[in-house]
Structure 1
Amino acid sequence: MRQINFLIVFVFCLALVLFSLQNPEPATIKLIEGYQVQAPLAIELILAMGLGAVLAWVFGVWARLQRLVDARQDINHIRTLDERIQQLEQEREQYKAQLETPGRLPPASESAGSEMETSEAMAN
C-alpha cells in the first residue's frame, strides 16, 4: 500500500513540475476587492495544492478524533453493561442458593393461608 501511495504522490509531483516548466508567465490573483497578487502560475498552483493538503490533513485529524470519542463512549457503555451483567449473575446465584436450601423458602402470606383453610373446609 505504501508503494501505491508513493506512486500517486510521485505522479502528482511530476505533473506539477511539468506544468510549472510549461507555464512560467505571471498570473494575477484577486483575493479581496482592491488587493491582488501577481506571481508565476506554478507558484500559485503549488500554494493552492499545499493549502488543500493542509485542509485535508486537518479534516483527517478531526475525523480521527471524532472516531476516538465515539469509541471511548462505546467502551464506557460496554463496561457499564458488563458491570450490570455481573450484578445480575450474582443476584441469580444468590436466588439459586436460596431455592436450593429447603428451610430458606419465604413464608406463605396470611391471605394464602386463609384461602387454603377455606378450601379445606369446603372440601369436608
Structure 2
Amino acid sequence: MKPINFLLIFLVCLALVIFSLQNTQLTTIKLIEGIELEAPLSVELVIATGLGAVLAWLFNLWSRVQNTIGSFGQMREIRSRNKRIQELQEDVERYEEELKQRASLPASETLSELEKSTEVEASK
C-alpha cells in the first residue's frame, strides 16, 4: 500500500510542478470584503494544495482519536464480560464439586440433605 501512496503523491506533486511552471501570470485573491492579494497563480495553487493537505491530515487525526476512544469502551466491555465468564466458570466448577460429593454419599444421606436444603429454601 505504501508504494501506491508514494506513487499517487509523486504524480500529484509532478502535476502541480508542471502546472506551476506554465501558469506564472498574476491573479487576484479576495479574502474578505476589501482585502485583496495579488500573487502568481502557481503560488496560489501551492498554498491551496498545502492547506488541503493539512486539513486532510487534521481530519484523519480526529478520526483516529475517535476510533481510539471507541476502542477503549469496547476493551472495557470485553474485560467486564471476561470477568463475568470467569465467575460463571467458577460457579460451574463449584456445582460440579457439590454434585460429586453428593454422588459419593449413600442414597439415604443424600435424600435427607435434599429435604433439609428444601426446607431451608422454603423458609427464606
TM over 0.5: yes
Output the CA distance in 2 between the equivalents of 1:37 and 1:83: 64
Deviations 1:36-73 (A, max 9, x none): 11100000000000000000001111111111111111
What TM-score, normalized to structure 1?
0.80
**Local SS of the residue matching 2:82:** helix
1:91, CA displacement in angstroms?
1.4
1:7 counterpart residue number: 7
2:99 counterpart residue number: 99
Instruction: Output aligned runs, 1:16-95, within 5 Å.
Output: 16-95=16-95
1:27, CA displacement in angstroms?
0.6
Aligned-partner residue type, residue 87 of structure 1 = E
Rg (Cα) greater in structure: 1
Output the CA distance in 1 between the equivalents of 2:83 and 2:12: 53
Percent identity, aligned pairs only?
46
Which 4+ runs in 1 deviate beyond 6 A? none
1:2, CA displacement in angstroms?
2.3
Aligned-partner residue type, residue 56 of structure 2 = A
What TM-score, normalized to structure 2?
0.80
Q: Which runs of 5+ in 2 are unaligned?
A: 103-108
Q: Which runs of 5+ in 1 are unaligned?
A: 113-124
The CA RMSD measured in Å over matched residues stands at: 1.9
Output the CA distance in 2 between the equivalents of 1:6 and 1:85: 47
Instruction: Output aligned runs, 1:104-123, within 5 Å.
Output: 105-106=113-114, 107=116, 108-109=118-119
